[in-house]
Amino acid sequence: METRVAVMAVIADNYDSSEQINSILHEYREYIIGRMGVPHREKSVNVICVAIDAPQDKINSLAGRIGRLSGVTAKTLYSAS
């Protein structure tokens, strides 16, 4: 199956959602190249960047599941090839 490389940006306005985000990311661990999380304590926001190499339907599924969490926004940028 053809895969695509993408970067997903996740912003969580709710610290309580961190556990749910990590659980979902763990389910997709075989596709994750790397991830970085940065807490912005002054604004009570977590910023997470996830690099992925996966079939497009898996990337869409991951972004959708994370984006449906309360207080969480997820956007994906795909490579050109």
- Are residues 14 and 70 in contact, defined by beta-carbon separation less than 8 angstroms? yes
- Domains belonging to the chain, first-starting first, are 4-78 (3.30.70.1150)
Summarised one tens digit per residue, pLDDT across range 20-78 is 999 999 999 999 999 999 999 899 899 999 999 999 999 999 999 999 999 999 999 99
Enter the pTM of the model: 0.90
